[in-house]
Chains A and B, each alone.
Chain A
Amino acid sequence: MTQLPYTSDNITLIQDFLDETRKRISAGVEITFTQKANNELEDLVLDFDIDVQDIEDAIENLTPDNYYRGIDPSGKADFEVCAFCTTVGEDNVQIYLKYGLEVNGLQILLFSNHVPDYPMIHPFKN
């Protein structure tokens, strides 16, 4: 996935992505999980007692500071996909979170939610 350079336009792009996510959730759209995201959530459930609401809360609380990779600037995809690093649950477990917004629809599709395999940088932080 592409890492966008840190510019004011790109901060706005990510903020728009997050605003659209919140708009869909507040309109009643529920997050859909892929099989991989489901398998990863099972581990978070058993290891840290994280539940699906914790993941939804984490998504709703994302800011451009949490940005990691995406969005494809070509605009040709069926989903705009973006990856973030954030924390979830009472123990503030750090997770890698990747999801997409359907371009010609309303689906919010979660691809990844797992503890990062390596330290993650925050290219838009500070």
Chain B
Amino acid sequence: MENKKVLLNRENKITEELQATAYKKYKGLNLDYIEVFYVDYEVNEDTGLINRDKTTKHYTKKQIERNIKALKNAYNIAKGAASPLEIINFRNKYQISASTFSIILGFSKNTISNIENEGITSLPSGRLIKMCLENKNIIYQYLQLSDDIDKNKKVEISRRLMEEII
């Protein structure tokens, strides 16, 4: 069953959190991401009067924080970073856990998991990951150089990575 978030509008009536795809053009980039919001009566910003005939999108502080994360993620992907979905698909294909993939790339254990759940927050990291996803040889080399992954695991992951190449 879908668990819908609810909040209170200006008249203290329960209203649902809604979501929609937001589109933004920024310096020649077309960004799109899922934004969350709720609707309430429009307020005229010059007169301060509520227009009870028209509702518009409104955003709580928490919704804005989530939307900004999604926007930055979309921006970083448009600038060449890997998307969370690309990372997940890659890991699933080669059966590498998020924590292991983090260690192979030289991040802290939870970095890849955080990126997959919350989006890319750093363009340099996102681009590094993208380059690695597009060139398995780099991941293979990093795997061999990793001190924190045991030998058997290295062999297994190496075999899966190199299967297609051979």
Contact = CB atoms under 8 A, between A and B. Distances in A.
A77 B48 CA distance: 5
B67 A78 contact: no
B71 A46 contact: yes
Given A100-B43, A109-B43, A38 B57 contact: yes
Q: How large is the interface on A (under 10, 10 to 19, 20 to 34, 35 or more residues)?
A: 20 to 34
Contacts of B61: 30-33, 52, 56
Q: DSSP majority for the B interface?
A: mixed
Interface in A31-54: 31-39, 41-43, 45-46, 51-52
Nearest to B58: A32
B46 interface: yes
Q: DSSP majority for the A interface?
A: mixed
Nearest to B45: A111
Contacts of A78: 43, 48-50
A79 B68 contact: no
B60 A77 contact: no
A34 B67 contact: no
Contacts of A46: 26, 71-72, 75
A102 B48 CA distance: 9
A98 B71 contact: no
Contacts of B72: 45-46
A65 interface: no
B34 interface: no
Interface of A: 1, 30-39, 41-43, 45-46, 51-52, 56, 72, 77-81, 98, 100, 102, 105, 107, 109, 111-112
Given A35-B37, A107-B10, 7 more contacts: A30-B61, A37-B59, A38-B37, A39-B24, A52-B61, A77-B49, A112-B45
